[in-house]
Amino acid sequence: MPSLRKPSSTVIDNFLSRQHDLSFSYPTVGTTRSEPPSGYVVDHRRVCLGRGAATFDATCAALRRWEHFPAWTCVHSPTGAIEPGVVVAPMAQVFGLWWLNACRIVYVVDESQPVRQFGFTYGTLPGHVERGEERFLVEWLDDDTVWFDLLAFSQPNRWWGWVAYPLVRQQQRRFGRDACAAIQDAVTRHLSSDARSNFSG
């Protein structure tokens, strides 16, 4: 849903209320757990954020606060919870317009074996310009490195999405690139803040 101004909290809450009980807008729900389905465009980015428990914890905290979303985007989450079934509103300012979308969290990853992982996936609802699924994951591997992994599959959910598809793809690639930069910045801030706190303490 595009608008010239950033939607107010009331507008967003009413939008999410209408979307809340609707079904996902795509049939292959949860397939980011294994392999994305055919017929969709797949975006996959992966970046090393550092090493050790402090980096892993800082990245998990950033994900819970949606700090992996770049400055030209944001997410409205009425409850703030990262739980299956929670409906949220990702927004982006593109081409001078604010685009309001609806997604539902499909599943949460919180595992210690075979590697330590935390993250979540959300899928699109009918009130989204695209249809598909996106997973945000942090992994702490055996070599002590910590990685942020973004995996998405999508296709247009509106006729004009197909017409403007080259521009849509441009923005999707931009989001993937900027999300990796945003999570790196957020982790650096968290680690610097912790270091200052420990020093002053």
pLDDT in tens, 27-83: 999 999 988 999 999 999 999 999 999 999 999 999 999 999 999 999 999 888 999
Give every CB contact of residue 57 below 8 A, 6+ residues apart in sequence.
none
The pTM for the full model equals 0.91
State how many domains the chain has.
1
Percentage, residues of the chain above pLDDT 70: 94
pLDDT in tens, 120-150: 999 999 999 999 999 999 999 999 999 999 9
- Exposed (0-12), middle (13-18) or buried (19+): which is 75, by Cβ within 10 Å? middle
Task: Give the CATH number for residue 175.
Answer: 3.30.530.20
- Residue 71, CA distances (Å) to 1, 31, 91, 94, 123 in order: 19, 29, 11, 12, 22
Give every CB contact of residue 187 below 8 A, 6+ residues apart in sequence.
49, 50, 55, 58, 59, 62
Q: Given a cut of 90, is residue 160 above it in pLDDT?
A: no
DSSP character for 201? Answer: -
Single-letter code of the amino acid located at 91: M
**pLDDT score recorded for residue 116:** 97
Question: Quick check: helix, strand or coil at residue 198?
Answer: helix
Please state, in angstroms and rounded to a whole number, the distance separating the CA atoms of residues 55 and 51. Answer: 6
Question: Which residue's structure tokens are 């797949």?
Answer: 42
Q: Which domain holds residue 134?
A: 2-200
